[in-house]
Structure 1
């Protein structure tokens, strides 16, 4: 790397310089302003700056699976420095110094949103050492608080859904049949972070910014069947420059329960500081029937667009850095 560039941990006082890199990413749904302070306080955020102090790149890293997997998130590079592989150099500098000796793989997500990004996905899959992990469908909607209230007041509540705490999530993880239904790829992707369904990830999954809802079997009680029926949804909530984002990851096969799950997430939205504009992202398995989910979502919001989201693993090889 050029000697006029320095890589270091980001600090709270770097906030405005980091956000100034690019304030128009993720279709106006950038989560970094909301989570920046927590990421810095947890020593997960890194930046690259010139000798004159100008911050030219940023990324934060999340260690999951007991430290065996590191996920790069929120990466951004100043337009004047694109094409110089700065993020790649940041990974190569930070990973050996911070995450060894447990680190085995790097995980990352690519959105196939538009022709340019679809072509990037195709090129990515040709790289040696890159292994596709799984893919989801992202459906985006935009709504208002008034539409949410109108739908919600007419909803019949049900006791068929459960809020999932840490102990219940560990119980679900211990059931092989439930995990095979909810996580057939052995991955629980939450807000673009792929977690293995194991106990060491529970503390990160069940956080103050999420609501986890489950409906269905708690064990295989169906005669002559190995099939467990159930639906799990994980809502992540944050504020961006456009409004309040409700990001819902969906798992399982009981899609008819989505209406009940959505009611719980609308409850959560109404408990948060009010914002008239509400942005929804609903992320579902590629083989899930979206008709019911789309019908429910259109009661509270207008459909925006749909695109595929691809997750990859790349084996970490220290000698290559």
Structure 2
């Protein structure tokens, strides 16, 4: 016999009672018409209404803020899965790696139709329109990563191309402003870099070998190969990159931050590459200078780092600037899965 807690774990899409299990979602029938089409700006209300933004990602769901940019961008496309003409699922895709990879992100299905083939419909459609291009999906999972779930259910691939740990740190704009004023530091090692700096960095085999040993760079849920064509996609208007010690490959550090607004406040995704021992606090200082004027309330820093990176120095740097660690996030992992081109 299963306990009530085991039933809740085993039967996620169900409401569990002591006497019975009741399905709380709708069931698609043969009379329902399911289609997948390009998303438009007119779909915004239906797409956002699929799931309560207060519940997704702990209230830090970026899609209400980024949906318009995704739909209007020349490098990304969004698709909706409709049931009887009403959008009930959405997935986004971006063409990267000089046109050799389609990166999928932003997947969600309405609670009403959770587990009813809509996810499969979206992925099959993107797989079809990609015309044999390699497919990539980056997922954030809690606890042990299910290889079968990630590779089999989503994109039918067997290659796990990146795996990292992620943590969250919480604060507000007033604490950041106060800490920046108190620190009054001028960075001596770290500096903000632009597209031209990144081009030089990408051309250095020695630096890239140390910073990106897997030959790939994660930035806000897309995995980019170290290719010049990806640089304009990485360095968009909401991105700030900071570098230090590039003349010393063993000590070099690159941090790339991207922000979005959410129901709870600003969410800042920070991807970290290289040696964090000496200069991480200076990197953090430069990122905070960028965002302190962007928000008047809560801020969530979501940092993605390699497994071997020690947390102590990072925790100390965030504490220095008035952050509190969100201990509920320390079992989350980011995994990237990619299929081969057909």
- C-alpha distance 108-250 of structure 1, shift in aligned 2 (>3 A): same
298, 310, 330: which one pairs with 1:289? 310
Which secondary structure state, in structure 2, belongs to the residue aligned with residue 38 of structure 1?
Answer: helix
**Counterpart residue number, 1:223:** none
What stretches of structure 2 of length at least 5 have no aligned partner? Answer: 1-27
Q: Please state how far the C-alpha of 1:157 moved relative to its aligned partner.
A: 1.6
- Map Cα deviations across residues 162-193 of structure 1 (whole Å, 9 max, x no partner): 21111110100000110011101111001111
Matched, 1:301 2:327: no
Q: Which residue of 1 aligns with 2:36?
A: 7
- The residue number in structure 2 matching 1:69 is 101
Mapped contact 1:137–1:285 kept (Cα < 8 A): yes
Distance in 1 separating the partners of 2:291 and 2:145:
36
TM-score (norm 1): 0.88
Name the residue aligned to 2:172: 144
The residue number in structure 2 matching 1:87 is 119
Corresponding residue SS for 1:244 = strand
TM-score normalized by the length of structure 2 = 0.83
Residue equivalent to 1:57: 89
Residue 49 of structure 1 aligns to a residue in which SS?
Answer: strand
Query: Structure 1 residue 245: deviation in Å?
Result: 1.1
Once superposed, what is the RMSD of the aligned Cα atoms?
A: 2.0
Distance 1:113 1:211 in 2: 28
1:161 maps to which of 178, 190, 194: 190
1:312 alignment partner in structure 2: 337
Residue in structure 1 matched with residue 284 of structure 2 by the alignment: 262
Asked if 1:277 is matched to 2:277, the reply is: no
- Change in 2 beyond 3 A, CA 1:86/1:125: closer
Shift of 1:275: 2.2
Per-residue deviation, 1:215? 0.5
Unaligned runs of 5+ in 1: 221-226
**1:47 Cα offset (Å):** 0.2
Mapped partners of 2:149, 2:80: distance in 1:
26
Q: How far did 1:122 drift? A: 5.5
Between stretches 205-214 and 25-34, larger displacement belongs to 25-34
State the shift of 1:216 in Å: 0.7
Residue equivalent to 1:224: none
How is 1:65-144 mapped onto 2 (pairs within 5 angstroms)? Answer: 65-97=97-129, 99-100=130-131, 103=133, 105-114=134-143, 118=144, 120-121=146-147, 123-124=149-150, 129-144=157-172
Secondary structure of 2:292's aligned partner:
helix
Q: SS of the counterpart of 1:298?
A: helix
Equivalent residue, structure 2, for 1:177: 206
Moved more, 73-82 or 169-178: 73-82
**1:294, distance to aligned residue in structure 2 (A):** 0.9
1:181–1:253 Cα contact (<8 Å) kept: no
| Alpha-carbon spacing, 1:198–1:235, altered in 2? closer, same or farther (3 Å) | same
- 2:241 and 2:254 in contact (8 A); partners too: yes
- Mapped partners of 1:170, 1:181: distance in 2: 16
Match of 1:135, SS state, is: strand
Structure 1 residues 291-321: Cα deviation after superposition (integer angstroms, max 9, x where no partner): 111111123211112122111112344xxxx
The number of equivalent residue pairs is: 302
